[in-house]
Amino acid sequence: RLSGGEQQMLAVARILRTGAKLLLLDEISEGLAPVIVHKLAEMVVALRKQGYTIVMVEQNFRFAAPLADRFLVMEHGQVIQEFTQSELPARMARLHEYLGV
């Protein structure tokens, strides 16, 4: 039986075999051990370096923040903030209000 992290990585491997260059990742860190979350982050970085476009929906901001080029914060189905990685430091106080981190 595969662990949650192994299932996530297997799912991504299956997608990559199709030739897709766009990955949609939904809450891939949810419920996983920190060591597995770290491995998933390494996988995302490696895929980006290979030219893949990755759209990630993730509530775990600490996981997602170092991986993202752009951020969209949604509330009740509406985008309430949009900014780039370079704008992140200036937006942190506001993000703490929204996300409670």
Domains of the chain: 1-60 (3.40.50.300), 69-101 (no CATH)
Q: Report pLDDT for 69.
A: 94
Classified as helix, coil or strand, 34 is helix
Q: What is the 3-state secondary structure (H, E, C) of 40-78?
A: HHHHHHHHHHCCCEEEEECCCHHHHHHHCCEEEEEECCE
Amino acid of residue 100: G
Confidence check: pLDDT of 2 > 70: no
pLDDT in tens, 55-72: 999 988 889 999 999 999
Torsion 51-63-58-1 (CA) sign: positive
Q: What is the dihedral of CA 38, 44, 50, 53, to 10 degrees?
A: -170
What digits encode the pLDDT tens for the residues 5-60? 677 777 778 877 888 889 889 998 888 888 888 988 998 999 999 999 999 999 88
